[in-house]
Structure 1
Amino acid sequence: MKLLKFGGTSLANAEKFLCVANIIKQKKDVEQIAVVLSAPANVTNYLVTIIEKKIQNNKILETINLVENIFVELINNILKIQSDFNYQKIETIIKKEFDELKSIIHGVVLLKQCPDSIRAIIISRGEILSVFIMKSILECKNHSVTLIDPIENFLSIGNYLDSTVDIPESKKRINKIKIDKNDIILMPGFIAGNEEKELVVLGRNGSDYSAAVLASCLNAHSCEIWTDVDGVFTADPRIVSNARLLKSISYQEAMELSYFGAKVLHPRTIEPISQFKIPCFIKNTNNVESDGTLICEKNNSEKNFLKGVTHLDNIVMFNVSGTSIKYVGNIIPRIFTTLSRNNIKIILFTQSSSENKIIFCIMNNEMDKVLSSLNKEFQLELKDKLLNSFQITNNLSILSVIGSNIYQKHNVASKIFSSLGEGNINILAVAQGSSEHSISLVIEKKYILKAVQKVHDAFFYNKKIIYAFLIGIGGIGSELLAQILKQKQYLDEKNIIIKFLAIANSKKILILENTTKLCNWKNDFKQSNETFNLKFLNKFIKKNHFSNSVIIDCTSDQYLSEQYVNFLENNFHVVTSNKKANTSKFSYYKNIRHTAYKNNKKFLYETNVGAGLPVIETLQKLFQTGDNLIRFKGILSGSLSFIFGKLEEGVLLSQATREAKELGFTEPNPYDDLSGIDVARKLLILAREVGYEIELKDIKIEPILPIDFKKCNSVNEFFLQLKKLDTFFLNRINKAHNIGNVLRFVGTIENKGECYVKIEEININDPLYKVKNGENALAFYTNYYQPIPLVLRGYGAGNKVTASGVFSDLLRTLS
């Protein structure tokens, strides 16, 4: 015999009721089955709400009618699908049940109290009606059905609302029932009877517990719990998107998972099936073909000894301290006895003898009762100052890692601590060793979702994830996205996932909700109506600080560059092509680096000098090994490299500049390139990298354009002005050419930190002689590289190489 149990979500509407009936039929064709049913989804919640007076008295009848209409609509819709359904009979039963219910609740309202015995009757109506409806559906399909009355046959011990079934006695009673071997056995879950044959209910997840008990009583060879998920996952898939389905877990692992918050089965459900060694499958009525998860005595199919990360919310932590704790042998038993006397369950308990401290955790809704009980029990100790006033910490959660013999594995705790440390999540208490199958930690509730994701990734996810926020979608930003899309296969092979949280420009933002789908980002961005500003940005980054979050700045915005310290303090790496931060005041330059170091975050800006060339990284590695700069000279502007190369070929200055602009080498207004300020900024960055504490104003610039050259309001006006210099530069080029030299716009750093930018005549023996067509070249004369310098040469301008450098920096955040 096999037992099937169907939860409320599996019975939410007519289609699902009939789907369950089909599953029952298919199983019955193989062997005899017994079925336990819950109330349809939300019905019990509505009934509990009425009793707990969470609605006003004048709306109680309205809520009862709402529940009644759920059942009436349900059978109406069943009739539409199954025309021979005995609608009249079931409608009469429903009306009778709700007439009685209205009468009971009317009495409760008049008396202004609801005894537990009456409460049990009210909240169990849904299960009883589910069974009547299913019985009628099955009988219409010519199946013979035997109903088991749990009030008569499940002897329960305990109170009206949270009873425990006496399995041996219940088994004797059920064995006396004459059940034809061809019959389908039906029973409402959640319900049992006490010695006086009064209805009682079985507490939280009572229907699952009913199913486990009935399986034990009927000697079922297996049990199937049908719900709305495929089985047991390594974490709640609603919280952790990469949670994976477990093929099997042991009874003890399932017990630990459910005890610490997993919505699988209640520990009480597992007790009967583990006692009688009944295998139990968790299955999905929405995905009947799924194998589900097997809960059994020994778990041999899963290679990973770890089974899941779960959490329990609404936890309160009590801190008991004082000199009397020295006599801990007396205090601890009294705490346990006091809480046990009041039916209060301790979730987690730790003790520190050196600090005279005891810590235990309970559920938030029991806090007042616990405080009152402890104050009464320890009133003398509190009065005599032997104990301090009880300290209570609210808004906590417990995170637990579950697995087989977890306490024997040396690296589990260290992985948990390191992953939480990376997320700057403090651990308030730890419990390990009390269970062979779990390690539990208390943390603040506001961090729990982040903590679960981080710990789960550390144990179950071998992919490296970058959570990216891109600001600036001009030439560089757009090209960066194109390159990431192009490299998807490579990233997949390297187990790297880049998840863009958002893409923004100066006006609006596209929220991508943690997706990796970028194919249609331009279209989606056009349709976005979300305005982007600093206030929105700060709110967004505080909400979305994942373990490897990165702000990518592909703008040239000064104001945005001034936010880097804020980004780093909020646990974001910063990757930028924007030179403004590194060329601002030296105090801010130092502050960025100090903040990055303090928060263990990366500030990467390789493209600030040389676009895609590995200039900064090379320089940093040189000086990490003890090298020192003697002298530097270089061509640091791709646009000016192109322009001066064209001048060498006889092209006029204005025409060469126009060509450079059309190729995207220059700034929107080429005046900014020809002013020399861009080269000065790059030279400043290099000078600071080698240790010179200088400002931009300290760099001497010999401009390409004359001092009296008018800065124009428009690009067209600029080119008209520039034509006036064509003859002057043509003559200067020819003069240099006549003696075998070329003109180059060069940035130089001397040994004492003197920096200057100017046009120089370069001879054939100089490493910068052949540099043109948009190339950059950087010659470093150091203790290790002299008299022949270390030269880095390559394209230093253009969206493709700059985006490539940003992409490379982005991947470096994983190291």
Structure 2
Amino acid sequence: MQVLKFGGTSVANAQNISLVKDIVANCAADNCIIIVSALGGITDTLLNAANLSSKQDEGYKTVLKEIETRHLDTVKSLIPVHAQSTILSKIKSELNTLEDLLEGAFLIGEITPQLSDKIVSYGEMLSSYIISEYFQHQQLDAGHVDSRTLIITNEVNEKAAVNFKITNANCKKFFSKTPHKIIVAGGFVASSESGNPTTLGRGGSDYTAAIIAAAVDAEILQIWTDVSGMYTANPKLVKQAKAIPHISYEEAMELSHFGAKVLYPPTIQPVLAKGISIEIKNTFKPEDKGTLITKNQNEKGKTVRGISHVENIALLSLEGPGMVGIPGISKRFFEVLSQAEISVVLITQASSEHSICVGISTDDIDKAVQIVNSAFEYEIERGKIKHVIAEQNLAIIALVGDNMKSHQGLSGKMFSTLGKNNVNIRVIAQGASERNISAVIKKDDVKKALNALHEEFFEENIKQLNLFVMGVGNVGAKFLNQVCQQKKYLKENLKLNIRVIGLSNSRTMVFDDGGIPLKNWEDTLASGEKANKEHFFEKVNQLNYRNSIFVDNTASADVSTTYNSYLGNSISVVTCNKIACSSEYSNYQELKSLARTYNAPFLFETNVGAGLPIIDTLKHLIASGDKILKIQAVLSGSLNFVFNNFNDQTSFHDVVKQAQEEGYTEPDPKIDLSGVDVMRKILILARESGNQLEISDIENKSFLPQESLDTDNNDDFFASLAKYEDDFQKLYTDAVAKESKLKYVAQFEEGKASVGLQEIPKGHDFYNLEGSDNIVLFYTERYPNQPMIIKGAGAGADVTASGIFADIIRIGNF
């Protein structure tokens, strides 16, 4: 014999019920017991009608009409017309009685627990009757039984305790004598020994099925629902979650207790003692394997089997010096909560006995605060115990697995993963069985925490990086194209899954929770909302994704002022924008400090040398104990391009214009030619070497005429370059006469920095520097005479984009 339970979504409408019929018709056992819930949503509708009637709101009549229409339409869709009249009459008769009950509640203006149980029981009574009649008209050998005649409970309403002795006897007697191969019964409902209707609690249809399965020694209990088993995490919150093929009773209980709603927690108890397997199956995908729940057979399997959570949790803390060493405090505390029927889902106590903290439902927190303060009023007045402390908007997140027992490092791995994503842990609890590690966190952090933990424990070390990109000009566009091109490679070889979630230029911005398709990002962005850097940050922060990275491809001072907001919310920052790191030293230090405090990398490799590993190499030198003595460098790919292409056959104006058009300069080329850009770069290198320096401390030996420096737009700037062409030609001829080349050089030594145009003689490391290449010479205590040299392309959209990409990969490998 098999017991099959079908939940509310499985019997929500006629179409779904027909799927249930197909499953039942293919039941492999000789006899099947079918337990069904109310039609999807009906229990809530019944409770709503009861609530309205108790408030003397005649709106209950409209709700009752909806209930009637729903059931009558279901019958008309399932049963042939010629056979409908008897069934419809039966349903209308039952609904008339329901109407009388609701009218009674309306007249007296209240609803008792017993009356509530009578009202909500109609959902399962009607659905089981309709489904049994439908089975019969589909030529199945089916019968119907009212579960209230089988399952007997105490007199407590709304979550009654089962009298197993009487219930087991009733079930054995009935099912041993039934002539039908298939019996349909409603879940959730029962009756007391005195015959009053009772219920087994929300989700109790699972429990009904387990009670009957244990009573008749069923071969297996199947729970048919709308998902393909118990998942490694909630698939609605974690898209990568997978169904667990096989799990133990104990693991299933832990997961169901901590929010895995596919299974009602008490369900396992009746079948566990009998060793009856439970199978979780999907009504809408019956071919899916589902989850099998048995005794633990995962001896050498995975340590963590699932991650679950409970939302709407509040913490209640009792603390004070008067608790230390005083017997009975804990007893009084829990007794008060128990007497008020407040369920405690988590307990933790300091070893000093100075405090006790419990997790309860948010719905109970106001009542709990009042009764606990009242119970300890004497101690509170004398200062021995403080007023109880309540914290709300919390959730419990839990790792579950039989093989977690004595497995070293799991807690550290869990808490480290949460910490890296700025998920603050308020309370930690671990049972003596070591089958569960629980932590209380902010409710808003649940999705991020679940995804981060799932990635760590279940996703074969594939790390998801969520990018929020601002700036899609030359560099930004190249960067997005590189991400699109390398996405598959990164996932397969580096185990990094990169998604662009947000995108913005100066006009529009767009977000896509699932990732913006990069093959047509231009069209997507064009149809986005109006750009606003503050709203962009608010959206990034609101999404609260794990491994979030803000990517700044702009040269905007305004955008650079937002970095502290991102870093302060554990959102990493990658930027080619040099303004922040060359701003006031205090701001530079604050950004560095925020990155360390909130474990959010702040990377700006492309600030110096585009894609060259200059800053990274410098960091490694310093970290390994070396000391910088001197830095000499050609750091402007733009200026190197200009002076490598400028000669007596060209005009300085035309070469600069070419450099701008080919993306070698900033949109405002004066930033490059004035030396400001190089000043920023040598300043950053000096600071990364451990020196406190401001940009005003750097000597700038500008080669531009003052008139050029004073211009405030590109047209005037280029006009001034044409005007002073003779001066530029003289610079060139003077250098040629000395068999030298013009290079714009930055230098830092003994705490002083300077930038300026120099005539570089033959034989010098800078002399043969071609195109837009950069070169840096690091003279250190380890390299005092022959410097460490880094040389290569130091400008251009492609190499800058690749440098940004490299920084993102560095974060992925942290």
The equivalent residue for 1:548 is 547
The equivalent residue for 1:563 is 562
Cα 1:431–1:524 shift into 2, 3 Å:
same
The equivalent residue for 1:736 is 735
Q: What SS does structure 2 have at the residue aligned with 1:515?
A: coil
8 A contact 2:225–2:262 mirrored in 1 = no
> Residue deviations 1:779-798, cap 9 Å, x none?
23333334333222111111
Between stretches 233-242 and 34-43, larger displacement belongs to: 233-242
Aligned equivalents of 1:747, 1:809: Cα separation in 2:
25
Cα 1:577–1:85 shift into 2, 3 Å:
farther
Aligned equivalents of 1:362, 1:215: Cα separation in 2:
32
Q: What SS does structure 2 have at the residue aligned with 1:590?
A: helix
The equivalent residue for 2:65 is 65
Counterpart selection for 2:128 from 121, 126, 131:
131
The equivalent residue for 1:271 is 269
Between stretches 203-212 and 55-64, larger displacement belongs to: 55-64
8 A contact 1:322–1:388 mirrored in 2 = yes
The equivalent residue for 2:634 is 635
Q: Superposition RMSD on alpha carbons, in Å?
A: 2.6
Q: What SS does structure 1 have at the residue aligned with 2:518?
A: coil
Residue 460 (1) aligns with residue 429 (2):
no
Counterpart selection for 1:797 from 787, 795, 798:
795
The equivalent residue for 1:196 is 194
Between stretches 551-560 and 46-55, larger displacement belongs to: 46-55
The equivalent residue for 1:533 is 532
Cα 1:51–1:702 shift into 2, 3 Å:
same
8 A contact 1:653–1:725 mirrored in 2 = no
> Residue deviations 1:182-233, cap 9 Å, x none?
5211111111122223322111211111111111222210011111111101
Between stretches 160-169 and 367-376, larger displacement belongs to: 367-376
The equivalent residue for 2:103 is 106
8 A contact 2:281–2:290 mirrored in 1 = yes
Cα 1:193–1:333 shift into 2, 3 Å:
same
Counterpart selection for 2:285 from 284, 287, 290:
287
Aligned equivalents of 2:679, 2:658: Cα separation in 1:
23
> Residue deviations 1:615-660, cap 9 Å, x none?
1112222233344444433222212212211225843323323332
The equivalent residue for 1:782 is 780
The equivalent residue for 1:497 is 497
The equivalent residue for 2:296 is 298
Aligned equivalents of 2:657, 2:320: Cα separation in 1:
81
Compute the displacement of 1:112 (Å). 1.6
Between stretches 297-306 and 272-281, larger displacement belongs to: 297-306
TM-score by length of 2: 0.93
Letter in 2 for 1:19: L
8 A contact 2:5–2:223 mirrored in 1 = yes
Identity %: 33
The equivalent residue for 2:229 is 231
The equivalent residue for 1:769 is 767
Q: Where do 4+ consecutive residues of structure 1 move more than 6 Å? A: none
The equivalent residue for 2:217 is 219
8 A contact 1:568–1:574 mirrored in 2 = yes
The equivalent residue for 1:619 is 618
Cα 1:653–1:444 shift into 2, 3 Å:
closer
The equivalent residue for 1:673 is 672
The equivalent residue for 2:356 is 358
Compute the displacement of 1:589 (Å). 2.2
8 A contact 2:221–2:277 mirrored in 1 = yes
> Residue deviations 1:45-71, cap 9 Å, x none?
011122233876121101111111111
Compute the displacement of 1:154 (Å). 1.9
The equivalent residue for 2:314 is 316
Compute the displacement of 1:261 (Å). 2.2
TM-score by length of 1: 0.93
Cα 1:55–1:659 shift into 2, 3 Å:
farther
> Residue deviations 1:234-280, cap 9 Å, x none?
22111222222111211111112222222132222111111211111
Q: What SS does structure 2 have at the residue aligned with 1:39?
A: coil
8 A contact 1:692–1:753 mirrored in 2 = no
Aligned equivalents of 1:361, 1:728: Cα separation in 2:
78
8 A contact 2:508–2:526 mirrored in 1 = no
8 A contact 2:445–2:544 mirrored in 1 = no
Structure 2, unaligned stretches of length 5 or more? none
Letter in 2 for 1:697: S
Letter in 1 for 2:224: W
Residue 120 (1) aligns with residue 117 (2):
yes
Aligned equivalents of 2:469, 2:445: Cα separation in 1:
25
The equivalent residue for 2:207 is 209
8 A contact 1:279–1:296 mirrored in 2 = yes
The equivalent residue for 2:700 is 701
Residue 583 (1) aligns with residue 582 (2):
yes
> Residue deviations 1:85-116, cap 9 Å, x none?
73323222222222221121111111122233
Letter in 1 for 2:103: H
Letter in 2 for 1:303: G
Between stretches 702-711 and 310-319, larger displacement belongs to: 702-711
Between stretches 387-396 and 273-282, larger displacement belongs to: 387-396
Counterpart selection for 2:138 from 123, 136, 141:
141
Cα 1:158–1:291 shift into 2, 3 Å:
farther
8 A contact 1:639–1:660 mirrored in 2 = yes
Compute the displacement of 1:515 (Å). 1.9
8 A contact 2:395–2:442 mirrored in 1 = yes
8 A contact 2:56–2:106 mirrored in 1 = no
Aligned equivalents of 2:576, 2:55: Cα separation in 1:
58
Compute the displacement of 1:380 (Å). 5.5
Cα 1:205–1:776 shift into 2, 3 Å:
same
Q: What SS does structure 1 have at the residue aligned with 2:599?
A: coil
Compute the displacement of 1:27 (Å). 1.3
Letter in 2 for 1:91: L
Aligned equivalents of 2:657, 2:340: Cα separation in 1:
86
8 A contact 2:490–2:496 mirrored in 1 = yes
> Residue deviations 1:704-743, cap 9 Å, x none?
3322348667656655543444454445434433442222
The equivalent residue for 2:510 is 510
8 A contact 2:299–2:403 mirrored in 1 = no
Aligned equivalents of 2:435, 2:731: Cα separation in 1:
82
Q: What is the total number of aligned residue pairs between the two structures? A: 809
8 A contact 1:545–1:571 mirrored in 2 = no
Write out aligned runs for 1:267-416 (5 A): 267-300=265-298, 303-322=301-320, 325-367=323-365, 370=368, 374=372, 387-404=385-402, 406-416=404-414
Letter in 2 for 1:115: T
Aligned equivalents of 1:161, 1:218: Cα separation in 2:
26
Residue 522 (1) aligns with residue 519 (2):
no
Aligned equivalents of 2:574, 2:242: Cα separation in 1:
32
Q: What SS does structure 2 have at the residue aligned with 1:559?
A: helix
Q: What SS does structure 1 have at the residue aligned with 2:519?
A: coil
Between stretches 615-624 and 134-143, larger displacement belongs to: 615-624
The equivalent residue for 2:591 is 592
> Residue deviations 1:143-199, cap 9 Å, x none?
222222222222222413222333332232233336456521111111112222332
Aligned equivalents of 1:767, 1:382: Cα separation in 2:
78
Aligned equivalents of 2:765, 2:15: Cα separation in 1:
79
